[in-house]
């Protein structure tokens, strides 16, 4: 960070770090702890549902073999009870997964005041919700392959180590619960042993960066946000733009520290503890020649989920790749609004709109990837960084902070 800005901040504001100056309530701690303990129970419910589905699939396959039938399509297609059971399984999974997210969202929005505690609760609930969905979708595909053994299999070879329904066990689900991935597989590549020194280093990095983010937010980001409130009230556009540019520096530093803490340190520590073999949680997104390349590379766990369970199924059903991509960003925008709007108790739609704006940005920068030479890629990378640093995060942070203050802080008490 620029030393001059550090000195200027210290001379102007003094030391703003205060360990005991956090506006959280006992109710926030109690409810967040309760949610942390209860939300994973929905994974156990998904296991119970899938256990019943596996028993039903075993019975169906046994009846097919006894009747000497050759299953070429759905087994027992004329059996209404069979079809009704499959629909019941799908609805049970859907209700269970949705209930998991709805309860947390309602509790955070109406009963948890502190936005950071609420954000942690929302992140946890969304992760478990996505894992629930992946567990249900993947086991549905595995059941289909199990009931149609004569159909050419498209399943990865590694799945043969734990074929359906042998994968429907508590231990298998528990591993998926803690594994640093959102896409369920019966088997994952595993490392031979745990390197405890590696784990200790990654945990130290996570803790150190978390402390840095807290200090930077309190000492540098908070004053800029507070000093922007009067400009937003009077709609002083020139001053708002100046504040956004001033905020962009510290918001980028905080975001990069958070990215490293999560994707390089925390996820690698968790992967090492779980002996999880796939450690590609991101690639070189900072060199992205287009906005689309950034979204494909910066968050690999989410990208794999979107591709596996939204994009590929839609394309496989005959929809265009453009429509499938749009649905991915609509879904992602919905999740972003839940992550930002619910904990701040302000559903503004800014996070959702921000994801929708990515679609034209992708269309504009996509041709630059194909330009011969480096000029096109450099131009695309410049467009990405300008939109990323100036338009995206600082503006969104400013608007949600203003809305929060309008509801609970100084703006709500000001006379306009």
> At which residue do the structure tokens 């505690």 appear?
117
Gyration radius from the chain CA atoms: 25
Half-sphere exposure of 269 (CA within 13 A, CB side): 15
Residue 276: DSSP 8-state: B
What does the block give as tokens for 41?
A: 């129970």
As beta bridge partners, residue 276 has: 190
For 351-354, the CB contacts below 8 A with 24+ separation are 351/396, 354/392, 354/396
* Residue 25 zone, left/alpha/beta (φ > 0; ψ -120 to 50; rest): beta
Catalytic residue among 42, 93, 309, 336: 336
Note if the bond before 165 is cis, omega within 30 degrees.
yes
> At which residue do the structure tokens 């749009």 appear?
326
Alpha-carbon gap, residue 159 to 145, rounded angstroms? 12
235 CB neighbour count, 10 Å cutoff:
8
What does the block give as tokens for 342?
A: 């619910």
Is 336 one of the catalytic residues?
Answer: yes
> At which residue do the structure tokens 């002996």 appear?
275
Residue positions annotated with a catalytic role: 336
């Amino acid at each position: 960070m620029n030393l001059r800005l550090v000195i200027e901040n210290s001379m102007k504001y003094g030391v703003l770090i205060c360990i005991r100056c956090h506006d959280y309530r006992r109710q926030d701690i109690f409810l967040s702890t309760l949610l942390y303990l209860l939300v994973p129970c929905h994974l156990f419910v998904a296991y119970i549902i899938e256990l019943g589905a596996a028993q039903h699939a075993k019975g169906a396959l046994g009846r097919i073999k006894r009747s000497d039938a050759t299953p070429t399509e759905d087994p027992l297609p004329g059996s209404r009870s069979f079809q009704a059971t499959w629909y019941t399984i799908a609805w049970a999974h859907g209700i269970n997964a949705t209930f998991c997210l709805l309860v947390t969202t309602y509790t955070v929005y109406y009963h948890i005041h502190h936005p950071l505690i609420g954000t942690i609760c929302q992140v946890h609930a969304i992760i478990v919700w996505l894992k629930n969905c992946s567990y249900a979708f993947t086991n549905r595909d595995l059941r289909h392959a199990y009931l149609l053994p004569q159909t050419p299999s498209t399943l990865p070879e590694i799945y043969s180590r734990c074929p359906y329904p042998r994968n429907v066990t508590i231990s298998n689900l528990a591993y998926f619960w803690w594994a640093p991935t959102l896409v369920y597989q019966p088997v994952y590549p595993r490392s031979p042993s745990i390197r405890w020194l590696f784990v200790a280093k990654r945990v130290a990095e996570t803790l150190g960066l978390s402390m840095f983010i807290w200090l930077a937010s309190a000492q540098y980001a908070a004053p800029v946000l507070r000093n922007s409130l009067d400009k937003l009230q009077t709609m002083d556009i020139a001053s708002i733009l100046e504040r956004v540019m001033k905020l962009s520096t510290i918001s980028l530093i905080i975001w990069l520290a958070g990215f490293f803490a999560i994707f390089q340190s925390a996820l690698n520590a968790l992967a090492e503890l779980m002996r999880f073999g796939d450690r590609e949680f991101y690639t070189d997104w900072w060199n992205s020649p287009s906005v689309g390349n950034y979204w494909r590379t910066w968050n690999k766990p989410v990208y794999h989920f979107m591709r596996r369970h939204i994009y590929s199924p839609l394309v496989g059903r005959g929809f265009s790749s453009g429509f499938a991509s749009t649905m991915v960003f609509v879904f992602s925008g919905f999740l972003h609004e839940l992550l930002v709007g619910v904990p701040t108790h302000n559903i503004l739609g800014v996070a959702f709109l921000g994801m929708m704006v990515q679609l034209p940005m992708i269309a504009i920068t996509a041709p630059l990837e194909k330009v011969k030479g480096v000029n096109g890629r450099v131009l695309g990378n410049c467009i990405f960084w300008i939109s990323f640093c100036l338009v995206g995060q600082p503006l969104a942070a400013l608007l949600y902070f203003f809305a929060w203050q309008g509801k609970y802080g100084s703006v709500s008490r000001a006379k306009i």
